[in-house]
Chain A
Amino acid sequence: MVDLKVKLHDIEFKNPVTLASGTCGFARETAEFFEPGLLGGYFLKGTTLKNRDGNNYPRMAETPSGMLNAVGLQNKGIDYFIENIYPEIVDYDTQLIINVNGSTVEDYIALTEKVNELDKINAIELNISCPNVKEGGMAFGVSCPGAEMVTREVRRVYDKTMIVKLSPNVTNITEIAKAVEGQGADAVSLVNTFLGMAIDAEKREPLLSTITGGLSGPAIKPIALRMVWQVANAVKIPVVGIGGIMTAADAIEFMLAGASVVQVGTAIFKDPMIPVKIVEGIEDYLKRHNMQSASELIGALQV
């Protein structure tokens, strides 16, 4: 028997496979395909203090080995979540983590205070890296002072595990990681999407209503992997690896590079069963390599 359990700060995941925020709704949608308890956890859809309608259509463009999105944090706000969604998912036998977003520091604080009251939510993912909103989001995450400020202020009101989600759209991602570590982040997750663009040459128009959007999918994997490896070597807090994971081998590569937990994202648009196959694939890998525990993979890259 191999042990798939991994720890991230003080919370335990039954296996290292989780779903990325913005690609798994509120875990109810994938539950129509498979038992929610098969995965380690769910980083739920980015939530804000108030309702957000998101950006105009079109919000999506397919690109080689990936896609661009410009959803813009469409959600019904934290109060709707607490009243209507939380009761429905609270008994799922898995880690549920809320991805929190704000236009201002005050928004982040007010939202986090509400989330802090929810017993089943053991962690938040502080999103300072959404590329598709005009205010807040990535604006905080692309400078050390901005990232430090949001992390520090939210730390004051949040008692449980705080994971800060980092933007790859920076010159040196290790500097941002170290900055949020210094302000009390318990873990970092990376990467959010890469700012990109697509054009319809025939019409001479952009393919997205917002002109630019976030690139995800296997196209970004090598860059994301490099960033996870750099960050894992630069900070002492654990790392959540994200970026183009399609297979168990991809997930294992991120763990070898230093990730304690991985998030599967865009892959589920291609096949909603991929995350379950990745869990099985990691188990197979551990057996083949005579390893006892998934945690042995973390940072085990031989260089």
Chain B
Amino acid sequence: MPKKFVKEFNVIENSALNATNFLIKVQSDTEFPVIKPGQFVNIEVKEAQEIFLRRPFSIFEVDYENNVISMIVKILGRGSRKLTEVKVGSKLSMVYPLGKTFTYPSSDDKILLIGGGSGVAPMLFLAKESGLPVENVDILLGARSKEDHINVDSYKKYANLHYASEDGSLGEKGFVTQHSVFTNNLNSYTKIYACGPDGMMRAIAKEAKAANVFCEVSLENLMACGFGVCLCCIEPTTKGNLCVCTDGPVFNINDLKW
């Protein structure tokens, strides 16, 4: 039986969350397998001859009842820009589910989830899946300004939400690593998870390592295939060059050569 699939999904929603992030919801006419936070889909960019390869996106929400998957698509280049122009009612070809999930927290864990930009998607998904009481889940979101933040108020029922913005227009001013939640007592957390820009994750990893707190990050290297055959998205690790698409995208920071 196949474990991975190539399938056409119907686009049922495409809405702008802010200037550069879009929420795209797609529906399948058949059931799909269990999907975990950190896993991703590889989407074909149609009607664009100059864009040959698919584009990978982290899965944000899964609705098994209605066979719906949502992704947050951030405009980063030609491919993602074209995808954000997709019309409701059209079809998207997706290869899924790809990649591995995070190490799930146990019932006595207190966790900090840090998301930068569209990296909030797997963090919110993990918060929802963690099964922990709200007081044991802190989500710290970082962006340049209030306008660049995505409204995630509906996740208040799963976690305490904290914001950092570089210009101070929402939450505390500065980077996520300068936020009081991060600087006050990192050791109060038993697990830290992060997804966002490379620089952000490296800064978090450095502090988590110094504080000796368990930390996993979700990487986003350039990919061609997404299922472990092209060996293009490699990340140097203590176990050699590993594929972000199949050995990751989630890595423990102790395995990375950061």
Residues of B within 8 Å of A53, CB to CB, are: 240-241
Residues of B within 8 Å of A211, CB to CB, are: none
Contact A30:B229 (CB < 8 A) given known A62-B53, A65-B49: yes
- Give the 3 A-B CB pairs with smallest separation, nearest first: A60-B232, A25-B229, A269-B225
Task: Tell me if B228 and A25 are in contact (CB < 8 A).
Answer: yes
Task: Tell me if B4 and A33 are in contact (CB < 8 A).
Answer: yes
A34: nearest chain-B partner, CB-CB: B2
The A interface is mostly helix, strand or loop, or mixed, namely: loop
Across the A-B interface, how many residue pairs have beta carbons closer than 8 Å? 97
Q: How many residues on the B side are at the interface (Cβ–Cβ under 8 A)?
A: 33
Residues of B within 8 Å of A22, CB to CB, are: 230-231
Q: Could you tell me which A residues sit within 8 Å of B by CB distance?
A: 22-25, 29-30, 32-34, 45, 51, 53-54, 57-60, 62-67, 69, 71, 74, 217-218, 266, 268-273
Assembled-state Cα–Cα distance A2/B49 (Å): 35
Residues of A within 8 Å of B3, CB to CB, are: 32
Give the shortest distance, in Å, between A77 (CB) and chain B (any CB). Answer: 12
Residues of B within 8 Å of A24, CB to CB, are: 229
Assembled-state Cα–Cα distance A242/B246 (Å): 27
Task: Tell me if A273 and B6 are in contact (CB < 8 A).
Answer: yes
Q: Does B93 contact A (CB under 8 A)?
A: yes
Give the shortest distance, in Å, between A65 (CB) and chain B (any CB). Answer: 6
Assembled-state Cα–Cα distance A107/B98 (Å): 36
Q: Does B234 contact A (CB under 8 A)?
A: yes
Contact A69:B240 (CB < 8 A) given known A270-B44, A271-B44: no
Q: Does B227 contact A (CB under 8 A)?
A: yes
Q: Does B63 contact A (CB under 8 A)?
A: no
Contact A57:B229 (CB < 8 A) given known A32-B2, A270-B44, A272-B95: no
Residues of B within 8 Å of A32, CB to CB, are: 2-4, 227
Q: Does B104 contact A (CB under 8 A)?
A: no
The 8 Å CB contact of A60, one of B222, B228, B229, is B222
Task: Tell me if B234 and A272 are in contact (CB < 8 A).
Answer: no
Give the shortest distance, in Å, between A76 (CB) and chain B (any CB). Answer: 8
Give the shortest distance, in Å, between B134 (CB) and chain A (any CB). Answer: 37
B 1-20 to A, binary, CB cutoff 8 A, 1 in contact else 0 = 01111100000000000000
Task: Tell me if A59 and B52 are in contact (CB < 8 A).
Answer: no
Residues of A within 8 Å of B85, CB to CB, are: none
Assembled-state Cα–Cα distance A29/B234 (Å): 16
